[in-house]
Amino acid sequence: MVLAVLIAAVVFYVADFLTAAPAAVSAVTQNGTAHLTLQTMASYGHAPDPDWVTYMAQDQNGNWQHTTIYKLPAHTLVTVTLYQFDSATGLRNPFLAQVRGTQGGFAVINGKPVTVLNPDLASHTFSVPDLGVSVPLPGVPSNAKNTCTAGPCSLSMAHTTIQFGFMTPGPGTYRWQCFVPCAVGFYFGNGGPMQTIGWMSGELEVT
Amino acid sequence: MIWAVATAIVVPLVIWVVGPHIPPDHASVQSSDQHTINVVLTSLATPVLLFIWVYFGYAIAVFRRAGEEIVDGPPLEGNARVQLIWLAVTSVLVLGLATYGTVDLLNTNGAGDGSGQGPSPLVKPPSGQKVLQVQVIGQQWLWTFRYPSYGGVETPYLAIPANEYVAFHVTSLDVDHSFWAYELGVKADAIPGNDNVAYVKALKVMSFQIRCAELCGLWHGHMNTIGHVLTQAGFAAWIAKQQLDYRGVTPYLPPYSNVYYPPPSRRA
């Protein structure tokens, strides 16, 4: 009897571990274009890991959700507006400072088109390797005032604004991730939130 | 007798029917060598496997207990002749294969048969052969490639020319990865601070899979891409396009080096 309960508990734990995933946020589609609004911050500020760096996404009602799984329509232009509230960490591989795979080959950063960012100024990236898309996200100055300490961050706080567009391919699930080793206190900066879906990487569910 | 007949039938089938389908393909000098070795190993293992299966089946059929049996059988006394033959045959097989494998590895045409040889390769391509240097950089979770003889341009794509030796210099920027170009028969660990050199000579224009063969974290299973073997002219055009496409970021890259020690980020 005890053994059966133990086995059931283990099976439940493993099943829960394997199936647990953040809820998905759908892009807002209008006039044949999908729009995704995201933000990044240095620390989520809430349980279970208030100190972890993370992304958040805005749902169709305008509410910020803690998820990195986005539903996008296939063969559609997706425009992304990304509010970046974190300071710079710097890229481990400067190659990723180049904007790739976006519409026009550039991203608009604080109103200016940019094709290559100084690698030292990068705070995060939004990269979809399978689609050849990669956009470096500049950090806010380290001496900036009114910095965000918990998500979701208000646009009245210090931030940079990054906008870009990319075309989705056919239906499928495509992983995306940040390529800046931005996980504080983890080995080589690539543990914790960098290794956990829902924080600094996720999936694009293209349908 | 049963074993001898089975061996005479099955071994030729293994060599000529199954053999052509044993990976890897004949896409490169190195994968061709590996294919031949795999066929030889399988052919030599077949009689041993058949011996076990035939003896097993024979024992089940002939020594099957017919009725009630309550006493142990006679104690086994051993058989010096059988033991000697067994030792001699297995020794010849193992030592012969070790010698065959070592000679093949030291063959300069194979140049290490696609394996990572560390920073000071023991076996290099034949002297006088042109060798294209390509750096393979692993990072969580992406492969990028640098071409030092083309201005050190870095690209997320890999292309090499056919019928030319290529030296892959495999390294990593974070944790251990393993560069595996499956159809080309190349596999070399990507270790931070280590320049792991593997040679290949592709024999035909084709595409090949690139995978990470070292469990390296969350997206390890997605750390793959497709490489291409091009004609000499095709490669020249391709590398020129890479230089053009990535001219903006090339000035920001560190000077080409066999290994990189990216400074610890301010945060991590």
Report the CATH number that the domain containing residue B221 is assigned in CATH. Answer: 2.60.40.420
For the stretch A185-197, pLDDT in tens is 887 788 899 999 9
Q: Which CATH superfamily is domain A31-206 in?
A: Cupredoxins -  blue copper proteins (2.60.40.420)
The complex scores an ipTM of 0.89
Residue of A nearest to B223 (CA): A129
- Spatial separation of the C-alpha atoms in residues A203 and A69, rounded to whole Å: 5
Give phi and psi for B84, each to the nearest 5. Answer: -65, -45
The token duo for B108 is 């300069």
* Mutation site for A-interface testing, chosen from B246, B247, B267 by largest number of A Cβ within 10 Å: B267
What rounded mean pLDDT belongs to chain B? 90
Residues B94, B170 share a domain: no
- Spatial separation of the C-alpha atoms in residues A183 and B174, rounded to whole Å: 13
Q: What is the pLDDT along chain A (207 residues), one digit of tens a residue?
A: 888 889 988 888 888 777 777 789 999 998 899 999 999 999 999 989 999 999 999 999 999 999 999 999 999 999 999 999 999 988 999 999 999 999 999 999 999 999 999 999 999 999 999 999 999 999 999 888 899 989 899 999 999 999 999 999 999 999 999 999 888 888 778 889 999 999 999 999 999
Residues B137, B96 share a domain: no
Q: Is residue B91 part of a domain?
A: yes
pLDDT at B26: 86
The token duo for A41 is 């911050």
Q: Is residue B102 part of a domain?
A: yes
Which residues of chain B have a CB within 8 Å of the CB of A183?
267-268
Nearest to B253 among A94, A179, A183 (CB): A94
Q: How many domains does chain B have?
A: 2
- List helix spans (H) across A125-177: none
Please tell me the distance in Å from A61's CA to the nearest CA on chain B: 31
- List helix spans (H) across chain A: 2-19
- Spatial separation of the C-alpha atoms in residues B189 and B177, rounded to whole Å: 6
Residues B232, B140 share a domain: yes
pLDDT at B263: 59
Please tell me the distance in Å from B255's CA to the nearest CA on chain A: 11
- Spatial separation of the C-alpha atoms in residues A59 and A70, rounded to whole Å: 10
Q: Which domain holds residue B97?
A: 2-62+81-106
Residues B199, B94 share a domain: no
Domain's final residue, options B53, B73, B106: B106
Contact B265 A92 (CB under 8 A): yes
Residues B248, B136 share a domain: yes
Residues B161, B96 share a domain: no
The residues spanned by each domain of chain A are 31-206
Residues B191, B95 share a domain: no
Residues B87, B171 share a domain: no
Residues B230, B154 share a domain: yes
Residues B99, B12 share a domain: yes
